[in-house]
Structure 1
Protein backbone atom coordinates (compact mmCIF):
# COMPACT_ATOMS: atom_id res chain seq x y z
CA UNK A 1 0.00 0.00 0.00
CA UNK A 2 1.13 3.54 -0.75
CA UNK A 3 0.03 6.74 0.84
CA UNK A 4 -0.73 10.05 -0.80
CA UNK A 5 -0.08 13.11 1.30
CA UNK A 6 -0.35 16.81 0.69
CA UNK A 7 2.88 18.37 -0.52
CA UNK A 8 6.10 16.59 -1.35
CA UNK A 9 6.96 15.20 2.06
CA UNK A 10 6.33 11.67 3.19
CA UNK A 11 3.25 11.25 5.36
CA UNK A 12 3.54 10.82 9.08
CA UNK A 13 1.01 8.97 11.18
CA UNK A 14 -2.00 7.01 10.05
CA UNK A 15 -4.04 9.90 8.63
CA UNK A 16 -2.66 9.57 5.08
CA UNK A 17 -5.04 8.27 2.45
CA UNK A 18 -4.03 4.91 0.93
CA UNK A 19 -3.93 4.73 -2.88
CA UNK A 20 -2.92 2.01 -5.31
CA UNK A 21 0.37 2.00 -7.16
CA UNK A 22 0.19 2.42 -10.94
CA UNK A 23 2.56 -0.31 -12.13
CA UNK A 24 1.47 -0.02 -15.76
CA UNK A 25 2.37 3.66 -16.24
CA UNK A 26 4.60 4.08 -13.18
CA UNK A 27 3.46 7.64 -12.56
CA UNK A 28 3.15 7.38 -8.79
CA UNK A 29 5.76 4.77 -7.92
CA UNK A 30 7.81 7.54 -6.31
CA UNK A 31 5.37 7.32 -3.38
CA UNK A 32 6.12 3.66 -2.64
CA UNK A 33 6.87 3.10 1.02
CA UNK A 34 5.60 -0.37 1.85
CA UNK A 35 8.00 -3.32 1.81
CA UNK A 36 5.21 -5.68 0.78
CA UNK A 37 4.47 -3.65 -2.35
CA UNK A 38 8.05 -4.05 -3.54
CA UNK A 39 8.13 -7.75 -2.59
CA UNK A 40 4.92 -8.39 -4.53
CA UNK A 41 6.25 -6.44 -7.52
CA UNK A 42 9.41 -8.56 -7.56
CA UNK A 43 7.28 -11.71 -7.31
CA UNK A 44 5.13 -10.57 -10.26
CA UNK A 45 8.16 -9.58 -12.32
CA UNK A 46 7.15 -5.92 -12.61
CA UNK A 47 9.46 -4.08 -14.99
CA UNK A 48 9.21 -0.88 -12.93
CA UNK A 49 10.09 -2.43 -9.56
CA UNK A 50 13.46 -0.64 -9.61
CA UNK A 51 11.76 2.77 -9.55
CA UNK A 52 9.63 1.68 -6.59
CA UNK A 53 12.75 0.38 -4.86
CA UNK A 54 14.44 3.78 -5.15
CA UNK A 55 11.31 5.37 -3.68
CA UNK A 56 11.33 2.83 -0.86
CA UNK A 57 14.80 4.02 0.15
CA UNK A 58 13.43 7.56 0.47
CA UNK A 59 10.06 6.75 2.00
CA UNK A 60 10.76 3.88 4.41
CA UNK A 61 13.17 4.63 7.24
CA UNK A 62 13.71 0.96 8.19
CA UNK A 63 17.05 0.56 6.41
CA UNK A 64 17.51 -2.95 7.82
CA UNK A 65 14.31 -4.00 6.06
CA UNK A 66 14.98 -2.06 2.84
CA UNK A 67 18.51 -3.35 2.18
CA UNK A 68 17.41 -6.97 1.50
CA UNK A 69 15.09 -5.60 -1.20
CA UNK A 70 18.00 -3.64 -2.68
CA UNK A 71 20.02 -6.87 -2.70
CA UNK A 72 17.15 -8.66 -4.44
CA UNK A 73 17.21 -6.00 -7.14
CA UNK A 74 20.98 -6.28 -7.49
CA UNK A 75 20.44 -9.99 -8.27
CA UNK A 76 17.72 -9.35 -10.86
CA UNK A 77 18.15 -10.89 -14.31
CA UNK A 78 16.93 -7.55 -15.74
CA UNK A 79 19.90 -5.19 -16.24
CA UNK A 80 17.76 -2.07 -15.85
CA UNK A 81 16.50 -3.30 -12.48
CA UNK A 82 20.12 -4.01 -11.47
CA UNK A 83 21.03 -0.43 -12.51
CA UNK A 84 18.13 1.07 -10.55
CA UNK A 85 19.03 -1.08 -7.55
CA UNK A 86 22.54 0.34 -7.69
CA UNK A 87 20.97 3.80 -7.58
CA UNK A 88 18.93 2.70 -4.58
CA UNK A 89 22.15 1.56 -2.90
CA UNK A 90 23.75 4.95 -3.60
CA UNK A 91 20.78 6.73 -2.06
CA UNK A 92 20.83 4.41 0.95
CA UNK A 93 24.44 5.36 1.64
CA UNK A 94 23.74 9.06 1.17
CA UNK A 95 20.48 9.26 3.12
CA UNK A 96 20.98 6.64 5.82
CA UNK A 97 24.75 6.51 6.16
CA UNK A 98 25.22 2.80 5.74
CA UNK A 99 24.93 -0.28 3.57
CA UNK A 100 25.32 -3.96 4.39
CA UNK A 101 27.81 -6.70 3.54
CA UNK A 102 25.42 -8.49 1.19
CA UNK A 103 24.91 -5.40 -0.96
CA UNK A 104 28.66 -4.75 -0.98
CA UNK A 105 29.37 -8.31 -2.17
CA UNK A 106 26.80 -7.96 -4.94
CA UNK A 107 28.16 -4.54 -5.91
CA UNK A 108 31.64 -6.03 -6.21
CA UNK A 109 30.35 -8.59 -8.68
CA UNK A 110 28.47 -5.97 -10.71
CA UNK A 111 31.73 -4.10 -11.38
CA UNK A 112 32.33 -6.84 -13.98
CA UNK A 113 28.80 -6.84 -15.47
CA UNK A 114 29.22 -5.80 -19.10
CA UNK A 115 25.51 -6.19 -19.88
CA UNK A 116 24.01 -3.15 -21.63
CA UNK A 117 21.36 -1.56 -19.40
CA UNK A 118 18.90 -1.78 -22.31
CA UNK A 119 18.89 -3.13 -25.84
CA UNK A 120 21.21 -1.08 -27.99
CA UNK A 121 22.48 1.06 -25.12
CA UNK A 122 26.20 1.86 -25.01
CA UNK A 123 25.98 1.97 -21.21
CA UNK A 124 26.68 -1.15 -19.18
CA UNK A 125 25.66 -2.11 -15.65
CA UNK A 126 29.31 -1.96 -14.59
CA UNK A 127 29.39 1.79 -15.26
CA UNK A 128 26.65 2.41 -12.72
CA UNK A 129 28.39 0.01 -10.34
CA UNK A 130 31.58 2.08 -10.59
CA UNK A 131 29.59 5.25 -9.88
CA UNK A 132 28.05 3.52 -6.88
CA UNK A 133 31.47 2.70 -5.46
CA UNK A 134 32.42 6.37 -5.85
CA UNK A 135 29.30 7.43 -3.97
CA UNK A 136 30.02 4.96 -1.17
CA UNK A 137 33.51 6.43 -0.91
CA UNK A 138 32.01 9.93 -0.71
CA UNK A 139 29.17 9.26 1.71
CA UNK A 140 30.44 6.57 4.08
CA UNK A 141 33.41 6.58 6.43
CA UNK A 142 36.25 4.46 5.08
CA UNK A 143 36.23 2.29 8.21
CA UNK A 144 32.72 1.11 7.30
CA UNK A 145 33.89 -0.09 3.89
CA UNK A 146 35.94 -3.08 2.77
CA UNK A 147 39.43 -2.43 1.44
CA UNK A 148 38.40 -3.04 -2.18
CA UNK A 149 35.95 -0.11 -2.00
CA UNK A 150 38.49 2.21 -0.40
CA UNK A 151 41.15 1.20 -2.96
CA UNK A 152 38.85 1.34 -5.99
CA UNK A 153 39.64 3.75 -8.78
CA UNK A 154 37.46 3.96 -11.84
CA UNK A 155 38.70 1.76 -14.66
Structure 2
Protein backbone atom coordinates (compact mmCIF):
# COMPACT_ATOMS: atom_id res chain seq x y z
CA UNK A 1 0.00 0.00 0.00
CA UNK A 2 1.27 3.49 -0.83
CA UNK A 3 0.55 6.35 1.54
CA UNK A 4 0.03 9.94 0.49
CA UNK A 5 2.03 11.46 3.32
CA UNK A 6 5.57 10.82 4.42
CA UNK A 7 6.16 8.75 7.52
CA UNK A 8 4.70 5.56 8.86
CA UNK A 9 1.05 4.79 8.27
CA UNK A 10 -1.36 4.83 11.15
CA UNK A 11 -1.01 1.75 13.38
CA UNK A 12 -4.73 1.06 13.15
CA UNK A 13 -4.48 0.99 9.34
CA UNK A 14 -1.52 -1.39 9.47
CA UNK A 15 -3.63 -3.83 11.46
CA UNK A 16 -6.10 -4.03 8.59
CA UNK A 17 -8.85 -2.27 10.51
CA UNK A 18 -10.60 0.66 8.99
CA UNK A 19 -9.99 4.08 10.43
CA UNK A 20 -12.56 6.79 11.01
CA UNK A 21 -11.54 9.59 8.69
CA UNK A 22 -11.43 13.01 10.33
CA UNK A 23 -13.50 15.10 7.93
CA UNK A 24 -13.72 18.07 10.28
CA UNK A 25 -9.96 18.70 10.67
CA UNK A 26 -8.77 16.57 7.78
CA UNK A 27 -5.88 15.30 9.89
CA UNK A 28 -5.90 11.74 8.55
CA UNK A 29 -7.54 12.00 5.14
CA UNK A 30 -4.23 10.88 3.65
CA UNK A 31 -5.22 7.38 4.82
CA UNK A 32 -8.28 7.21 2.59
CA UNK A 33 -8.14 4.05 0.51
CA UNK A 34 -11.80 3.12 0.09
CA UNK A 35 -13.80 4.40 -2.89
CA UNK A 36 -16.99 4.10 -0.82
CA UNK A 37 -15.57 6.59 1.73
CA UNK A 38 -15.10 9.13 -1.06
CA UNK A 39 -18.61 8.54 -2.41
CA UNK A 40 -20.08 8.99 1.07
CA UNK A 41 -18.08 12.23 1.48
CA UNK A 42 -19.45 13.52 -1.83
CA UNK A 43 -22.97 12.58 -0.74
CA UNK A 44 -22.52 14.49 2.54
CA UNK A 45 -20.97 17.50 0.78
CA UNK A 46 -17.68 17.26 2.69
CA UNK A 47 -15.48 20.27 2.04
CA UNK A 48 -12.26 18.21 2.04
CA UNK A 49 -13.41 15.43 -0.28
CA UNK A 50 -10.79 16.44 -2.85
CA UNK A 51 -8.01 15.77 -0.36
CA UNK A 52 -9.37 12.28 0.29
CA UNK A 53 -9.70 11.73 -3.46
CA UNK A 54 -6.00 12.47 -3.99
CA UNK A 55 -5.16 10.05 -1.16
CA UNK A 56 -7.42 7.43 -2.72
CA UNK A 57 -5.36 7.59 -5.92
CA UNK A 58 -2.19 6.97 -3.91
CA UNK A 59 -3.61 4.28 -1.65
CA UNK A 60 -5.81 2.26 -4.01
CA UNK A 61 -4.27 0.85 -7.19
CA UNK A 62 -7.65 -0.20 -8.65
CA UNK A 63 -8.08 2.49 -11.31
CA UNK A 64 -11.41 1.00 -12.35
CA UNK A 65 -12.72 1.84 -8.87
CA UNK A 66 -10.88 5.17 -8.52
CA UNK A 67 -11.51 6.86 -11.89
CA UNK A 68 -15.31 7.15 -11.42
CA UNK A 69 -14.63 9.00 -8.15
CA UNK A 70 -12.21 11.32 -9.96
CA UNK A 71 -14.89 11.93 -12.59
CA UNK A 72 -17.37 12.76 -9.85
CA UNK A 73 -14.93 15.28 -8.44
CA UNK A 74 -14.36 16.83 -11.87
CA UNK A 75 -18.13 17.44 -12.00
CA UNK A 76 -18.29 18.96 -8.51
CA UNK A 77 -19.96 22.35 -8.09
CA UNK A 78 -17.04 23.30 -5.79
CA UNK A 79 -14.15 24.75 -7.85
CA UNK A 80 -11.53 23.69 -5.29
CA UNK A 81 -12.80 20.12 -5.48
CA UNK A 82 -12.60 20.30 -9.29
CA UNK A 83 -8.99 21.52 -8.97
CA UNK A 84 -8.08 18.75 -6.53
CA UNK A 85 -9.75 16.21 -8.81
CA UNK A 86 -7.58 17.40 -11.66
CA UNK A 87 -4.55 16.78 -9.45
CA UNK A 88 -5.91 13.33 -8.61
CA UNK A 89 -6.23 12.55 -12.32
CA UNK A 90 -2.67 13.66 -12.98
CA UNK A 91 -1.45 11.43 -10.14
CA UNK A 92 -3.49 8.53 -11.53
CA UNK A 93 -1.71 8.90 -14.85
CA UNK A 94 1.69 9.20 -13.18
CA UNK A 95 1.29 6.34 -10.71
CA UNK A 96 -0.93 3.92 -12.60
CA UNK A 97 -0.31 4.78 -16.25
CA UNK A 98 -3.89 5.23 -17.25
CA UNK A 99 -6.94 7.46 -17.35
CA UNK A 100 -10.25 6.95 -19.14
CA UNK A 101 -12.32 8.62 -21.85
CA UNK A 102 -14.83 10.02 -19.33
CA UNK A 103 -12.23 11.87 -17.28
CA UNK A 104 -10.48 13.12 -20.41
CA UNK A 105 -13.68 14.68 -21.71
CA UNK A 106 -14.35 16.26 -18.34
CA UNK A 107 -10.85 17.76 -18.35
CA UNK A 108 -11.51 19.11 -21.82
CA UNK A 109 -14.60 20.89 -20.52
CA UNK A 110 -12.67 22.34 -17.57
CA UNK A 111 -10.26 24.08 -19.93
CA UNK A 112 -12.98 26.75 -20.21
CA UNK A 113 -13.68 26.91 -16.45
CA UNK A 114 -12.83 30.52 -15.52
CA UNK A 115 -14.15 30.25 -11.97
CA UNK A 116 -11.60 31.12 -9.26
CA UNK A 117 -10.66 28.11 -7.14
CA UNK A 118 -11.62 30.05 -4.02
CA UNK A 119 -13.08 33.43 -3.12
CA UNK A 120 -10.56 36.14 -3.90
CA UNK A 121 -8.11 33.78 -5.61
CA UNK A 122 -6.50 34.85 -8.85
CA UNK A 123 -6.15 31.19 -9.84
CA UNK A 124 -8.91 29.65 -11.91
CA UNK A 125 -9.79 26.00 -12.53
CA UNK A 126 -8.80 26.18 -16.21
CA UNK A 127 -5.16 26.77 -15.23
CA UNK A 128 -4.99 23.49 -13.36
CA UNK A 129 -6.83 21.79 -16.22
CA UNK A 130 -4.23 23.07 -18.69
CA UNK A 131 -1.40 21.83 -16.46
CA UNK A 132 -3.14 18.46 -16.13
CA UNK A 133 -3.31 18.09 -19.91
CA UNK A 134 0.42 18.84 -20.12
CA UNK A 135 1.11 16.29 -17.37
CA UNK A 136 -0.98 13.65 -19.14
CA UNK A 137 1.19 14.15 -22.20
CA UNK A 138 4.28 13.52 -20.07
CA UNK A 139 3.01 10.48 -18.16
CA UNK A 140 1.02 8.62 -20.82
CA UNK A 141 1.98 7.38 -24.27
CA UNK A 142 0.49 9.52 -27.03
CA UNK A 143 -1.34 6.47 -28.42
CA UNK A 144 -3.43 6.34 -25.25
CA UNK A 145 -4.53 9.95 -25.62
CA UNK A 146 -7.08 11.54 -27.94
CA UNK A 147 -5.78 13.84 -30.65
CA UNK A 148 -6.92 17.00 -28.84
CA UNK A 149 -4.61 16.18 -25.91
CA UNK A 150 -1.64 15.50 -28.16
CA UNK A 151 -2.27 18.74 -30.04
CA UNK A 152 -2.96 20.85 -26.94
CA UNK A 153 -1.06 24.06 -26.42
CA UNK A 154 -1.75 26.15 -23.33
Fold equivalence (TM over 0.5)? yes
Whether the 8 Å CA contact 2:9–2:31 is kept in 1: the answer is: no
Q: How many residues align?
A: 148
Which stretches of structure 1, 4 residues or more, deviate above 4 A after TM superposition? none
1:30-72 Cα deviation digits (max 9, x unpaired): 0100111101000000000000000000001110110000000
The equivalent of 1:75 in structure 2 is: 75
Alpha-carbon distance in structure 2 between the residues aligned to 1:84 and 1:104: 15
Classify 1:150/1:10 alpha carbon distance in 2 versus 1 (closer, same or farther; 3 Å). Answer: farther
Instruction: Give 5+ residue unaligned stretches, structure 2.
Output: 1-6
Q: CA RMSD in A?
A: 1.9
Instruction: Tell me, in whole angstroms, the C-alpha distance in 1 between the residues paired with 2:104 and 2:9.
Output: 30
Question: 1:91 maps to which residue?
Answer: 91
**8 Å contact kept, 1:10–1:59:** no
TM-score w.r.t. the length of structure 1 is 0.91
1:51 aligns with 2:42: no
Residue ranges of structure 1 left out of the alignment (5+ in a row): 1-6
Q: How do 1:1-150 and structure 2 match up within 5 A?
A: 7-8=7-8, 15-150=15-150
